[in-house]
Protein backbone atom coordinates (compact mmCIF):
# COMPACT_ATOMS: atom_id res chain seq x y z
CA UNK A 1 0.00 0.00 0.00
CA UNK A 2 1.50 3.36 -1.01
CA UNK A 3 2.17 6.17 1.48
CA UNK A 4 -1.20 7.86 2.14
CA UNK A 5 0.13 11.22 3.31
CA UNK A 6 -1.26 14.24 1.42
CA UNK A 7 2.10 15.13 -0.14
CA UNK A 8 2.78 11.56 -1.29
CA UNK A 9 -0.71 11.35 -2.77
CA UNK A 10 -0.21 14.70 -4.47
CA UNK A 11 3.11 13.54 -5.96
CA UNK A 12 1.56 10.33 -7.31
CA UNK A 13 -1.44 12.27 -8.62
CA UNK A 14 0.86 14.70 -10.43
CA UNK A 15 2.98 11.84 -11.84
CA UNK A 16 0.01 9.87 -13.24
CA UNK A 17 -0.87 10.48 -16.88
CA UNK A 18 -4.46 9.63 -15.96
CA UNK A 19 -4.64 12.83 -13.90
CA UNK A 20 -4.76 14.69 -17.22
CA UNK A 21 -6.84 12.20 -19.25
CA UNK A 22 -9.57 11.33 -16.73
CA UNK A 23 -10.93 14.90 -16.42
CA UNK A 24 -11.59 14.98 -20.18
CA UNK A 25 -14.02 12.08 -19.79
CA UNK A 26 -15.40 13.29 -16.44
CA UNK A 27 -16.05 16.83 -17.68
CA UNK A 28 -17.37 15.51 -20.99
CA UNK A 29 -19.77 13.30 -19.06
CA UNK A 30 -20.88 16.28 -16.97
CA UNK A 31 -21.50 18.34 -20.09
CA UNK A 32 -23.40 15.45 -21.70
CA UNK A 33 -25.42 15.14 -18.48
CA UNK A 34 -26.40 18.83 -18.56
CA UNK A 35 -27.43 18.58 -22.23
CA UNK A 36 -29.30 15.34 -21.56
CA UNK A 37 -31.19 16.82 -18.60
CA UNK A 38 -32.20 19.79 -20.75
CA UNK A 39 -33.40 17.43 -23.48
CA UNK A 40 -35.22 15.30 -20.90
CA UNK A 41 -37.00 18.42 -19.66
CA UNK A 42 -37.90 19.14 -23.28
CA UNK A 43 -39.27 15.62 -23.62
CA UNK A 44 -41.44 16.08 -20.54
CA UNK A 45 -42.67 19.38 -22.04
CA UNK A 46 -43.53 17.47 -25.25
CA UNK A 47 -40.99 19.52 -27.22
CA UNK A 48 -38.25 16.90 -27.78
CA UNK A 49 -38.75 13.37 -29.10
CA UNK A 50 -37.51 10.50 -26.97
CA UNK A 51 -34.97 9.30 -29.56
CA UNK A 52 -33.11 12.62 -29.17
CA UNK A 53 -33.03 12.16 -25.38
CA UNK A 54 -31.89 8.57 -25.87
CA UNK A 55 -28.97 9.64 -28.09
CA UNK A 56 -27.88 12.12 -25.41
CA UNK A 57 -28.05 9.35 -22.81
CA UNK A 58 -25.92 7.08 -25.02
CA UNK A 59 -23.30 9.82 -25.34
CA UNK A 60 -23.30 10.29 -21.56
CA UNK A 61 -22.97 6.53 -21.02
CA UNK A 62 -20.05 6.31 -23.46
CA UNK A 63 -18.27 9.13 -21.63
CA UNK A 64 -19.11 7.48 -18.30
CA UNK A 65 -17.43 4.26 -19.45
CA UNK A 66 -14.35 6.26 -20.44
CA UNK A 67 -14.40 8.02 -17.06
CA UNK A 68 -14.77 4.74 -15.18
CA UNK A 69 -11.83 3.16 -17.03
CA UNK A 70 -9.51 6.17 -16.74
CA UNK A 71 -10.64 6.75 -13.14
CA UNK A 72 -9.75 3.16 -12.24
CA UNK A 73 -6.33 3.54 -13.83
CA UNK A 74 -5.81 6.83 -11.99
CA UNK A 75 -6.93 5.28 -8.70
CA UNK A 76 -4.44 2.45 -9.21
CA UNK A 77 -1.59 4.90 -9.85
CA UNK A 78 -2.46 7.12 -6.88
CA UNK A 79 -3.84 4.71 -4.25
CA UNK A 80 -2.75 1.25 -5.43
CA UNK A 81 -6.27 -0.06 -6.14
CA UNK A 82 -8.25 -0.13 -9.37
CA UNK A 83 -11.51 0.14 -7.44
CA UNK A 84 -12.63 0.66 -3.88
CA UNK A 85 -9.48 2.29 -2.49
CA UNK A 86 -10.35 3.31 1.06
CA UNK A 87 -9.84 6.97 0.11
CA UNK A 88 -12.42 6.72 -2.71
CA UNK A 89 -14.72 3.99 -1.43
CA UNK A 90 -17.85 6.14 -1.24
CA UNK A 91 -17.28 7.66 -4.67
CA UNK A 92 -16.60 4.24 -6.21
CA UNK A 93 -19.76 2.78 -4.70
CA UNK A 94 -21.77 5.75 -6.00
CA UNK A 95 -20.18 5.36 -9.45
CA UNK A 96 -21.03 1.65 -9.44
CA UNK A 97 -24.66 2.44 -8.56
CA UNK A 98 -24.86 5.01 -11.39
CA UNK A 99 -23.28 2.49 -13.77
CA UNK A 100 -25.78 -0.22 -12.79
CA UNK A 101 -28.68 2.21 -13.16
CA UNK A 102 -27.46 3.32 -16.59
CA UNK A 103 -27.08 -0.29 -17.70
CA UNK A 104 -30.60 -0.97 -16.37
CA UNK A 105 -31.83 1.95 -18.48
CA UNK A 106 -30.16 0.46 -21.58
CA UNK A 107 -31.55 -3.00 -20.85
CA UNK A 108 -35.04 -1.58 -20.42
CA UNK A 109 -34.86 0.48 -23.63
CA UNK A 110 -33.88 -2.58 -25.64
CA UNK A 111 -35.98 -5.25 -23.90
CA UNK A 112 -39.10 -3.28 -22.89
CA UNK A 113 -39.20 -0.24 -25.19
CA UNK A 114 -42.89 0.40 -24.46
CA UNK A 115 -42.38 0.71 -20.68
CA UNK A 116 -41.64 4.44 -20.91
CA UNK A 117 -42.67 5.19 -17.33
CA UNK A 118 -40.20 2.70 -15.90
CA UNK A 119 -37.47 3.64 -18.39
CA UNK A 120 -37.78 7.32 -17.50
CA UNK A 121 -37.92 6.56 -13.77
CA UNK A 122 -34.67 4.56 -13.98
CA UNK A 123 -33.06 7.37 -15.98
CA UNK A 124 -34.17 10.03 -13.50
CA UNK A 125 -32.88 8.01 -10.53
CA UNK A 126 -29.57 7.39 -12.33
CA UNK A 127 -29.24 11.10 -13.02
CA UNK A 128 -30.09 12.04 -9.42
CA UNK A 129 -27.46 9.62 -8.06
CA UNK A 130 -24.95 10.92 -10.63
CA UNK A 131 -25.62 14.50 -9.51
CA UNK A 132 -25.02 13.46 -5.89
CA UNK A 133 -21.79 11.78 -6.92
CA UNK A 134 -20.63 14.93 -8.73
CA UNK A 135 -21.38 17.05 -5.66
CA UNK A 136 -19.45 14.79 -3.30
CA UNK A 137 -16.56 14.56 -5.80
CA UNK A 138 -16.27 18.36 -5.94
CA UNK A 139 -16.36 18.50 -2.13
CA UNK A 140 -13.73 15.76 -1.84
CA UNK A 141 -11.43 17.38 -4.39
CA UNK A 142 -11.57 20.71 -2.57
CA UNK A 143 -10.86 18.98 0.74
CA UNK A 144 -7.90 17.04 -0.72
CA UNK A 145 -6.38 20.24 -2.13
CA UNK A 146 -6.81 22.00 1.21
CA UNK A 147 -5.19 19.09 3.12
CA UNK A 148 -2.24 19.00 0.72
CA UNK A 149 -1.75 22.77 1.05
CA UNK A 150 -1.90 22.53 4.85
CA UNK A 151 0.62 19.66 4.87
CA UNK A 152 2.93 21.64 2.60
CA UNK A 153 2.62 24.73 4.82
CA UNK A 154 3.47 22.63 7.88
CA UNK A 155 6.60 21.29 6.20
CA UNK A 156 7.66 24.81 5.19
CA UNK A 157 7.12 26.04 8.77
CA UNK A 158 9.20 23.18 10.18
CA UNK A 159 11.98 23.84 7.68
CA UNK A 160 12.10 27.54 8.58
- pLDDT, tens digit, for every residue of 77-86? 998 899 998 8
What pLDDT digit, counting tens, does each position of 85-104 carry?
888 888 899 999 999 999 99
Overall size of the chain counted in residues = 160
Of residues 157 and 73, more confidence is placed in 73
| Burial class, 99, CB count within 10 angstroms (exposed 0-12 / middle 13-18 / buried 19+) | middle
Q: Which of 94, 111, 114, 103 is nearest to 60 (CA)?
A: 103
Q: Is residue 3 very low, low, confident or very high in pLDDT (cuts 50, 70, 90)?
A: low
The pLDDT assigned to 37 comes to: 97
Quick one: CA dihedral 31, 34, 39, 42, positive or negative?
A: negative
Of residues 153 and 38, more confidence is placed in 38
Q: Tell me, rounded to whole angstroms, the distance of Cα 116 from its chain centroid.
A: 26
Cα(43)–Cα(10) distance, rounded to whole angstroms? 44
Amino acid sequence: MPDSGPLAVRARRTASIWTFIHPVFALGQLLAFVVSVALLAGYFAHAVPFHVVHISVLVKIALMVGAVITGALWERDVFGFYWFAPEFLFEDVMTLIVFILQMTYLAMVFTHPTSMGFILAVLCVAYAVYLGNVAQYIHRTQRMKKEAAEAEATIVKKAA
